[in-house]
């Protein structure tokens, strides 16, 4: 997130996005946010977002993955969580070709965390030829499943024209969705983009976000009502 906020910040100052001077207050907010995030930022995802780390760790314990051999066996059997954990294991050992291979196995089964990690490696050129356009495709796969980190990254890429054509409208929409999902830095990045949009474009983007969120809320309510003990 630190890297992304800095990219957006300088992009807004030096690129076509700059329509008005960034205030001293906004600069202060970005600097403070960036330093506050240094302790938690990682390149790839081990299957746990900052908000659900304990829950993911509990799942690992419940599955009794206590040895590398057991992890490998589960991964080879097609367990997507185990595949991502194994990818993370190789990622930490800097065996990036193996890490990418296991992330892709999970991604190809539609697992959002695997898709996000493949996107990260493609975006950074880690263990694979850098391909930001392809990275955006993987981010979109994860984002459409509601994965907050991917939504945030897409917003940043549209804001800076990274791997795609610069589009503040799309940037705002994805960052707003990431903020709704409580992604780290989503709210601050969304507001930064909003300050550089004209009134008409901003209102249009906000209307789109409202419609999407309304659908998400309706879907969530419908799912709750279908559960045992629900109203439906």
CA-CA-CA-CA dihedral for 162, 164, 166, 170, to nearest 10 = -110
Going residue by residue through the chain (232 aa), what tens digit of pLDDT does each one get?
Answer: 656 655 565 555 555 544 444 334 444 444 444 444 433 344 567 665 555 555 555 565 555 546 888 999 999 999 999 999 999 999 999 999 999 999 999 999 999 999 999 999 999 999 899 999 999 999 999 999 999 999 999 999 999 999 999 999 999 999 999 999 999 999 999 999 999 999 999 999 999 999 999 999 998 888 776 666 555 5
CA 101 to the chain's CA centroid: 20
Q: Which pair of tokens denotes residue 223? A: 């799912």
Q: Which fold has domain 2-226?
A: 1.25.40
- What predicted TM-score, i.e. pTM, was given to this entire model? 0.74
Region for 110 from its dihedrals, namely left if φ exceeds 0, alpha if ψ lies in -120 to 50, beta otherwise: left
Measured CA to CA in angstroms, residue 211 lies from 81, 158, 168, 204, 205 at distances of 32, 20, 18, 11, 10
Residue-range domain boundaries for the chain: 2-226
Residue 179 makes CB contacts below 8 A (sequence gap 6+) with 186, 187, 190
Inter-axis angle of helices 132-143 and 112-124, to 10 degrees? 160
Burial group, residue 4, by CB count within 10 angstroms (0-12, 13-18, 19+): buried
202, 194 in Cβ contact below 8 A? yes
Can you tell me whether residue 134 is helix, strand or coil? helix
Residue 223 makes CB contacts below 8 A (sequence gap 6+) with none
């Amino acid at each position: 997130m630190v890297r992304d906020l800095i990219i957006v910040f300088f992009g807004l100052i030096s690129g076509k996005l700059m329509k008005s001077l960034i205030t001293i207050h906004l600069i202060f907010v970005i600097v403070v946010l960036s330093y506050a995030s240094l302790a938690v930022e990682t390149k790839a995802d081990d299957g746990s977002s900052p908000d659900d780390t304990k829950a993911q760790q509990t799942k690992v314990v419940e599955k009794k993955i206590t040895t590398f051999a057991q992890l490998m066996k589960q991964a080879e059997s097609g367990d997507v969580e185990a595949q991502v954990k194994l990818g993370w294991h190789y990622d930490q050992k800097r065996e990036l070709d193996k890490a990418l291979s296991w992330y892709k196995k999970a991604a190809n089964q539609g697992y959002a965390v695997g898709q996000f990690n493949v996107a990260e490696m493609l975006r950074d050129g880690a263990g694979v030829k850098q391909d930001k356009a392809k990275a955006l495709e993987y981010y979109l796969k994860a984002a459409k499943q509601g994965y907050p980190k991917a939504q945030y990254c897409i917003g940043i890429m549209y804001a800076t024209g990274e791997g795609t054509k610069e589009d503040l409208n799309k940037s705002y929409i994805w960052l707003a969705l990431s903020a709704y999902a409580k992604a780290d830095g989503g709210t601050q990045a969304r507001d930064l983009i909003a300050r550089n949009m004209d009134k008409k474009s901003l209102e249009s983007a906000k209307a789109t976000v409202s419609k999407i969120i309304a659908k998400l809320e309706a879907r969530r309510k419908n799912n709750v009502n279908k559960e045992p003990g629900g109203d439906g």
